[in-house]
Structure 1
Amino acid sequence: ERVGLFGVDAPEVRRGATAAQPFAYDARDLLISLTRGRVGCRFVERDRYGCFVGRCWSSASPDVNAALIRSGLAREYHRYSRGRYADAEREARQAHRGLWF
Structure 2
Amino acid sequence: MSELIVDDLADVRAGDKGDTLILAVLPRDGEAYALLAEVLTPDAVAGHYAVTEPVERTELPHLPALVFRVPSVLAGGVTGYSGLDGHGKALGYHLLMLRLEKDG
What is the TM-score normalised by the length of structure 1? 0.29
Of Structure 1 and Structure 2, the greater strand share is in 2
Q: Relative contact order (C-alpha < 8 Å, sep 6+): which is higher? A: 2
Structure with greater helix percent: 1
- TM-score of the pair, normalised by structure 2: 0.28
